[in-house]
Amino acid sequence: MKVDPRFSASIEDRDGQKSLRFSASAETALGEGAAPLFEAGFSELCELAGTPSPAREAFADARGRTIFSNGWQSWCFGGELSAGERIPRARIVPNINVYTDGPGPREARGEVLSRFLSFVRAGEGRLVVASVGSPERATPPVSFRIDRETLGLRAELGAEGARFAAGELVAEIRCFYREGYFEAKDALREAFGAYGHFDRLAFLGSSGSLVPGGYESWYNHYTKIDDGIIARDLESISSNDNLINSYYLRRGKPTVFQIDDGWERAVGRWEPDPVKFPRGMKAFAEEIEAKGMIPGIWIAPLLATRGCAIFRERPEWLLRDGLGRPVPAGLNPGWDGVFYCLDISIPEVEDYLAGIFDTLVEDWGYRYLKLDFLYAGFIEGARREGGAAYRHYDRLMRRLTSRTRNSRGLGVAYLGCGAPLEPSFRHFPLMRIGADTKEKWEDGLLKSVVRHQGRPAAYANLTHTIGRSLLDGTVFVNDPDVVFCRTRRMGLSEAEKELVALVDLMLASQIMFSDDPHDYGDPEESAFTARIVGLFDALAGRRYGAQRIARDVYSIFSENGRVRGVANLSGKPWKAAGYDRSAALVLRADAVEGALAFRPRSISLFET
Ligand code: 9PG
């Protein structure tokens, strides 16, 4: 192992894993760009992790192995890549890359860039590396660069502008080999066990099977919400057999009712839109609470659009480049086009945001806060107070999420979205781990022309939800985004909706929907909803895993081995033998020559 001379390394055994601890050799200031941390050959890593020799041989076959690539933030790709597969960078619309690029150089040809953690898998064997940092003090985000041919590893820190005292811990990396999906998962959970960060979500679900659920307004009304629409959805959610009422409310499970983007005057001006919400937002929180639900609200605290007051009144709060120009933080046709962000190194910005959170939680009564577009905290720019972005981000997010109970003693939860994964997990155990679901399978323009990996589309969403399932219950309580039961304003087929619902239940930990409960009740929707509730009941209470079998095809399995199946996200049937039709819980497959052909864009499950 080659360690950068600025750092010294020690290796210890912890939880049956190797813990590589790196600290600053002397007082150190990091300049521009990513700082190399260490390099190791694959055989060294295998040695460290105690990899048995048959597994090493299996890893040596480049076509039989996959490498896990974990993108920087929630909407980025996360999943296993085979030889030759790459995640494209967006083109034509450069501001799309602002969403997905993290700190440091882009992925080079011949390497897989994975943030925070990665693994190489051959068969059931996984060699895992994960940056666990320290619960005491935030450490910089770590990027792993894995040579696709040799599997050699380079790790680097995203800590531009950071200063470390002599002896200060800069990274703790865990390295282990495990055979089996659940074995790897358990080891990952132990690696992050010291954080105890799931405790703060206990009020959202009975411990053990923590599955928050509820309604959110985005994937139906989008920004076109108002007092009347929300009031109607709130009124109807408990009055018919819609999914949330059937599976959560009537059963007395904690249920969220969350108002999404569209309530605010402008993104960056966090006051109720006086035309759409003339009564303000407090009344809703009270009404939601009175109906026995947890009031939720969306906010993108770090953003500023041209239409918001900050832009005119506090121009000095905007993040600027070296020439003093505001730095674009992305592009959203639904708002003002290009938007900008705040300089979170400025203490007054922090106080201002903390004041807004006081209002949301204490004055208005919201208890489920969806903090969106958090990647903006890491955008490159000339921060007024200097220093490393990760420290400013950590300080600010710690403060904004510090209230875990309101003054009435009721629990408060925070959902991270569009958030840099490693810097966020300690503050946001509840985390969006993929692109938006969207009520259509694919977005042709964003996929093929722009090549946006985080495009809202069911296909991208499912790929990420399956791909990041190992992180669910270990690093995060994975929010897979919404499921759909509705038939109106719907571009997904019944089999696609079923695929989304079952993947979300089995491989992630939150079930939200955006259907209009007011509209509920056409026979197709009612029958589908009842069937999904039945399947949720039949499948609940077990742990599930998923593993890539081929491009866009995954095997699904329960820990006890009784449930097995195939999720086929590809556009072609997938043929496989060894499944018994008569044992099907869900069958979207046709018999062919002694095997089954699993239909495109569907899931089939069997129980023995
Ligand atoms: C509100 C929405 C919803 C949604 C969030 C987020 O990469 N993109 O182009 C992109 C744009 C918007 C977006 C996600 C990705 O949606 O995930 O749940 O809250 O904001 O504006």
Positive or negative, the CA dihedral 49, 52, 56, 59 is: negative
Do 202 and 166 fall within a single domain?
no
Q: Is residue 63 part of a domain?
A: yes
Q: What are the pLDDT digits (tens) for 168-178?
A: 999 999 999 99
Distance from the alpha carbon of residue 248 to the mean position of ligand 1, in angstroms = 25
Do 296 and 228 fall within a single domain?
yes
Q: What is the pTM of this model?
A: 0.98
Check which CATH number belongs to the domain holding 524 and give it: 3.20.20.70
> Which residues are CB-contacts of 475 (< 8 A; sequence separation ≥ 6)?
117, 188, 192, 421, 425
Distance from the alpha carbon of residue 216 to the mean position of ligand 1, in angstroms = 13
Do 489 and 342 fall within a single domain?
yes
Mean pLDDT, residues 230-249: 97
Q: Is residue 217 part of a domain?
A: yes
Q: Is residue 448 part of a domain?
A: no
Residue that finishes a domain, picked among 195, 230, 249: 195
Ligand 1 atom, smallest distance to 331 CA: 9
Does residue 516 register a pLDDT over 60?
A: yes
Q: Could you write out the DSSP letters of every residue in 539-608?
A: HTTS-EEEEEEETTEEEEEETTSSEEEEEE-SSS-EEE-S--GGGEEE--EEEETTEEEEPTTEEEEEE-
Distance from the alpha carbon of residue 511 to the mean position of ligand 1, in angstroms = 17
What percent of the chain clears pLDDT 90, i.e. is strictly above it?
96
Distance from the alpha carbon of residue 401 to the mean position of ligand 1, in angstroms = 21
Q: What are the pLDDT digits (tens) for 523-567?
A: 999 999 999 999 999 999 899 999 999 999 999 999 999 999 999
Nearest residue (CA) to ligand 1, atom 21: 261
Which of 76, 89, 372 to mutate to test ligand 1, by most ligand atoms within 8 A of the CB atom? 372
Do 52 and 92 fall within a single domain?
yes
Does residue 337 register a pLDDT over 70?
A: yes
Q: How many CA atoms lie within 13 A of 233 on its CB side?
A: 23
pLDDT at 209: 59
Distance from the alpha carbon of residue 332 to the mean position of ligand 1, in angstroms = 9
Does residue 17 register a pLDDT over 70?
A: yes
Does residue 577 register a pLDDT over 80?
A: yes
Nearest residue (CA) to ligand 1, atom 14: 436
Mean pLDDT, residues 60-71: 97
pLDDT higher at 469 or 205: 469
Q: Is residue 460 part of a domain?
A: no
Nearest residue (CA) to ligand 1, atom 9: 455
Confidence at 265, pLDDT banded by 50, 70, 90 = very high
**Number of domains comprising the chain:** 3
CB-defined site of ligand 1, < 6 Å:
75, 99, 218, 260-261, 298, 332, 372, 417-418, 436, 454, 456
Mean pLDDT, residues 574-580: 96
Mean pLDDT, residues 316-328: 97
Mean pLDDT, residues 17-42: 96
Do 43 and 148 fall within a single domain?
yes
Does residue 208 register a pLDDT over 60?
A: no
Does residue 163 register a pLDDT over 90?
A: yes
Residue that finishes a domain, picked among 169, 195, 221: 195
Do 378 and 246 fall within a single domain?
yes
Does residue 374 register a pLDDT over 70?
A: yes
Distance from the alpha carbon of residue 436 to the mean position of ligand 1, in angstroms = 7
Confirm if 302 and 270 have CB atoms less than 8 A apart.
no
Distance of CA 23 to the CA centre of its chain: 29
> Which residues are CB-contacts of 355 (< 8 A; sequence separation ≥ 6)?
none
Q: Is residue 453 part of a domain?
A: no
Residue whose structure tokens are 């020559």: 593
Nearest residue (CA) to ligand 1, atom 4: 436
Q: What are the pLDDT digits (tens) for 210-230?
A: 678 999 999 999 999 999 999
Ligand 1 atom, smallest distance to 481 CA: 18
Q: Is residue 278 part of a domain?
A: yes
Do 256 and 303 fall within a single domain?
yes
Check which CATH number belongs to the domain holding 551 and give it: 2.60.40.1180
What is the pLDDT of the chain when averaged over all its residues?
Answer: 96
pLDDT at 210: 61
Q: Is residue 455 part of a domain?
A: no
Q: Is residue 438 part of a domain?
A: no
Sheet hosting strand 574-576, strand order edge to edge: 574-576, 595-598, 589-592
Residue 591's domain comprises 546-607
Mean pLDDT, residues 194-205: 90
pLDDT at 212: 87
Q: What are the pLDDT digits (tens) for 398-415?
A: 999 999 999 999 999 999
Do 505 and 579 fall within a single domain?
no
Do 163 and 290 fall within a single domain?
no
Mean pLDDT, residues 79-97: 95
Residue whose structure tokens are 């906010």: 299
Do 124 and 205 fall within a single domain?
no
Do 70 and 187 fall within a single domain?
yes
Residue that finishes a domain, picked among 518, 541, 564: 541
Do 262 and 186 fall within a single domain?
no
